[in-house]
Amino acid sequence: MDITIVKIGGAVIENPDDLAQFLAAFEEIKGAKILIHGGGKDVSKISSALGLQTKMVDGRRITDAETLKLATMVYAGFINKNIVAKLGVNGKALGLSGADLNIVQTKKRPSEPIDFGFVGDPFTELVNTTELVALLDNKVTPVFCAITHDGQGQLLNTNADSVASIIAQAIAIAGHTVHLNYCFEKTGVLTDIENDDSYIKSLPVADIEKLHQSGIIHTGMLPKLDNAKYALANGVNSVYIKHWKNVAQNMGTQIC
């Protein structure tokens, strides 16, 4: 099967007009497709409103029980069901967490050296490609949030870029043709951050470290590029970083 996987970030989701425009563009993608969405700022906003303390260690957020609860509410509840309700796809949109049909099981990150709390790391062998491909065979469009589970009753918060990559890898390993698209507010990886026309059309994995050291690739882009690299290593057929408006086009930065 030929499968297109699209990861969309939080910023689009927070603007209803942008979301409508994105979903219309997403519908233009032909054939089997999977949407994975990130979070946005609601968790932080509600967390502050409730007076919860954001726990940080070494500048990284810790997912304690309360944060996990809020993340599950916002990602699996509000954002996921709003996308499902607004996505046409002939009434075949299906909102999913990793716990549903046990499709994305993860492992709680070890508590040493840093205990990040209820965070799950994904593995290709823990993706239930049988159930996922059966849904696609039935013309369903799965819409994933990045809440996963450990298979023993515990929900876990997972990085949405990683969920998109691991699903792409697992499906590729299962023998399907997979196109992975990371969509955000830029046209691609830019050589000049102020100029949307300056995107790199083709970025070989081997050049990433060099471009990072020369300051062209910013540190914040590195985790996405790592996910792209793993995807290609495991047989994903194409990986793009692109503007969400171009989700159905072969435009943007192709990692190769």
Which residues are near a second copy by CB under 8 A? 46, 49-51, 69, 72-78, 80-82, 84-86, 91-95, 97, 99-102, 128, 134, 138, 140, 147, 149, 151, 153-155
The CA–CA distances, whole Å, from 137 to 11, 32, 83, 133, 141 equal 31, 8, 21, 6, 10
Compute the least distance from the CB of residue 13 to a second copy, in Å. Answer: 13
| CA distance linking residue 96 with residue 70, whole number of Å | 17
Contact of 158 with 116, CB cutoff 8 Å: no
Q: Based on CB atoms, which residue is closest to a second copy, 166 or 189?
A: 166
Residue 105 dihedral angles phi and psi, to the nearest 5° = -85, 145
Compute the least distance from the CB of residue 140 to a second copy, in Å. Answer: 7
Q: Based on CB atoms, which residue is closest to a second copy, 12 or 74?
A: 74
Could you give the residue ranges of the DSSP H alpha helices within 52-95?
Answer: 65-71, 80-86
Q: Based on CB atoms, which residue is closest to a second copy, 76 or 166?
A: 76
Q: Based on CB atoms, which residue is closest to a second copy, 157 or 254?
A: 157
Q: Return the axis-axis angle of helices 222-233 and 160-173, rounded to nearest 10°.
A: 10
Compute the least distance from the CB of residue 225 to a second copy, in Å. Answer: 30
Q: Based on CB atoms, which residue is closest to a second copy, 153 or 215?
A: 153
Compute the least distance from the CB of residue 213 to a second copy, in Å. Answer: 42
Q: Return the axis-axis angle of helices 160-173 and 129-137, rounded to nearest 10°.
A: 80
Compute the least distance from the CB of residue 251 to a second copy, in Å. Answer: 27
Q: Based on CB atoms, which residue is closest to a second copy, 87 or 231?
A: 87
Contact of 249 with 185, CB cutoff 8 Å: no
Compute the least distance from the CB of residue 25 to a second copy, in Å. Answer: 16
Contact of 189 with 217, CB cutoff 8 Å: yes
